Amino acid sequence: MNVMTPVTGWALILAFFAFFMGVTWYAARNHDLSSKAGFLVASRDLGWVQAAFSIAATWIWAPALFVAAQQAYVHGWVGVFWFTVPNVLCLVIFAWFAQRARELFPDGFTLSAAARERYSPRVQVLYLIAMIGLSVASFAVQLLAGAVVVTALTGIPFAAVTLALSVGALSYTAYAGLRGSVVTDWLQMVVIGVVGCGLALAVTIIAGPSVLARGLHGMDGTYTSLTSGAGAGVFWSFGLSTSIGLLSGPFGDQSFWQRAWAVRKEHVARSFLLGAAIFAVVPIVMSMLGFAAAGGAVPVTNPTLTNLAAILHWLPQWTVVPFLLYVFSGLVSTMSSQLAALSSFVGHDFLRGDATRAVFHARWSMLVFAALAVAIALIPGLTVVQLFIFYGTLRACTLVPTMLMIARPGRLSERWAFWGILGSLVLALPMSAYGNLTGTVPFVVAGSLAAIGVSGTLVLIGRARVAPTVPQNARH
């Protein structure tokens, strides 16, 4: 499928990252990058529109770029529904919790540190395990998806692409911390919107409405209902685990809590609501390419690259250049966000009480975590969907304890929360890993249900056994 030379591919990668490094330097040159608050939470002065674009860009990870088109091609509108609706709904629900967390912990940095304050140090450790694991795996997903596309189009070796993307994201995030991620997000979001909508519109015009209409029910035309027939099977094999993973997504992802503590406190909720609306455009637009591929019987050898197959089938080859910029923008925005999130664990949780060394160690931790993510992305046979569902299970393990910690902080049981989260991690992760690696759907579903069910049940039992109290800094 190579449509450009490796030299052209390298030139595009270098130009992309050089441009965004320049944007970061220019935008952050007059801001505080040396203090803990300046580096980890952008001095808590982000505007709500700026934050909303950053939230949307962060949520536009590899699945949003590729899975929407894949689901449209394979499972029609049913697959798109089970991917898009939970994706948007989770940010809408999270908006209230983010605002509430900012009120409860006005000087917060990480959710894990908040768990230490509300529960205990040992619960904080479990949060760190789950959230660091999620951030590293999320970084690896972006590398895996991006390298697959770039290698297919340019012939550049897969391992070299993963390394280049990692170094590129590190270049400006390590320089400016969270602000380096945020100031580039809005421009990357513009690239995603303009290029994505432009390519989808061009394919729709050339293919014609009748082709898209034929593809609404998937490539074999059997996905006509959410609740019956083949459509019901999509719910059990994809929709249930995906919905649980997505609805718990921002709750277990430090990059979103980090933005909640970085935006001006009176604008937290509205920034997430606007971010949800901006994000919704991407999976909807990408699904149009999947419908066109299904309706036009486009040969798709790799379903993960359905959107690329549709573009190459209906449009000139030169359109892969803006498509690559679209891919880079979507993936790198999430990569930089995860690097900033990972650095906050080291800069705040690991160096508790030592603000003088926070920025130095936060920067170096990015390099370590990026190297770990590269190693994961290079595991032979690992796919984007497998890793996506796996770490969706991981973040679900802390969902209910986090919700109660914020919504009902006066009735918490440390003991029940600790054993609930630990039980979820021990039971759910092996089931989810086995189910994904072997393609055994019952284990995938069981892992997702166990992740939220074990911790949720035990923490609710603990809540019922604890007399209500009012946290000292809670506001009602």
Q: Tokens at residue 357, please?
A: 């060394």
Half-sphere exposure of 174 toward its Cβ, with a 13 Å CA cutoff?
16
- Reported as a pLDDT band with limits 50, 70 and 90, residue 476 is very low
Would residue 67 count as lying in a domain? yes
**Helix and strand totals (H; E) in the chain:** 19, 0
Would residue 370 count as lying in a domain? yes
Question: Identity (one letter) of the amino acid at 252?
Answer: G
**E-only strand ranges, 318-472:** none
Please give the pLDDT value at position 136: 92
CA gap 467, 304 in Å, rounded: 51
Contact at 8 Å (CB) between 392 and 245? yes
From residue 358, give the alpha-carbon distance in Å to each of 33, 40, 286, 348.
Answer: 11, 9, 40, 7
- Interaxial angle between packed helices 320-344 and 358-377, expressed in degrees from 0 to 180 and rounded to the nearest 10: 130
Contact at 8 Å (CB) between 434 and 388? no
Would residue 405 count as lying in a domain? no
Please write the tens of the pLDDT for every residue from 279-319: 998 889 999 999 999 999 898 888 878 988 999 999 998 89
Please give the pLDDT value at position 474: 46
Cα angle 468-470-473, degrees, rounded to a multiple of 5: 155
SS3 for 216? coil
Least confident of 92-106, 194-208, 397-411: 397-411
CATH number for position 42: 1.20.1730.10
Contact at 8 Å (CB) between 248 and 452? yes
Written as one string, the DSSP assignment of 347-383 is IIIITTT--TTHHHHHHHHHHHHHHHHHHHHTSTT--
Instruction: Taking residues 438-453, report their average pLDDT.
Output: 79
Please give the pLDDT value at position 475: 42
Would residue 456 count as lying in a domain? no
Residue 474 phi/psi, 5-degree rounding, is -75, 145
The DSSP output letter for 196 is H
Would residue 438 count as lying in a domain? no
Tell me the torsion sign for CA atoms 449, 450, 451, 457. positive
Output the average pLDDT for the chain.
88
Number of domains in the chain: 1
Would residue 215 count as lying in a domain? yes
For a pLDDT cut of 90, what percent of the chain falls above it? 51
Contact at 8 Å (CB) between 300 and 1? no
Which has the closest alpha carbon to 260: 474, 114, 454?
A: 114
- Reported as a pLDDT band with limits 50, 70 and 90, residue 467 is low
Would residue 447 count as lying in a domain? no
The residues with which 46 forms a beta bridge, in sequence order, are 263
Instruction: Taking residues 244-272, report their average pLDDT.
Output: 90
Domain range spanning residue 138? 6-383
Which has the closest alpha carbon to 185: 366, 53, 327, 25?
A: 53
Would residue 401 count as lying in a domain? no
Burial of 317 from C-beta contacts in 10 A (0-12 / 13-18 / 19+)? exposed
Helix (H) or strand (E) holding 297: none
Task: Using the predicted structure, report yes or no on whether residue 470 has a pLDDT greater than 60.
Answer: no
Instruction: Taking residues 24-49, report their average pLDDT.
Output: 91
